[in-house]
């Protein structure tokens, strides 16, 4: 069902897909990624936005993420 919704949206001019780590219990980003990979649309034809919950341990999260990415 999600794939159908994303496909219809894209085919009708929607090119921004918004997600977050909290949507669908944290599974929305993974699901959208799988759908986009399967569709094999040219990457320059759509945008993906995401956000994260700051929470009480945001500083710890940023420190850990920065260390792992750098």
Q: Quick one: which of 62, 1, 51, 59 has its CA closest to 29?
A: 51
Catalytic residue among 23, 24, 29, 48: 23
β-strand partners of 17: 48
Q: What is the distance between the alpha carbons of residues 46 and 17, in angstroms, rounded to a whole number? A: 8
Active site residue 23: yes
Which residues are part of the catalytic machinery?
23
């Amino acid at each position: 069902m999600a794939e159908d919704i994303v496909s219809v949206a894209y085919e009708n001019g929607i090119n921004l897909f918004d997600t977050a780590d909290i949507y669908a219990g944290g599974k929305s980003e993974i699901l959208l990624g799988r759908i986009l990979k399967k569709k094999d649309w040219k990457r320059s034809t759509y945008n993906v936005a995401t956000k994260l919950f700051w929470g009480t341990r945001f500083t710890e999260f940023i420190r850990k993420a920065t260390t792992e990415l750098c």
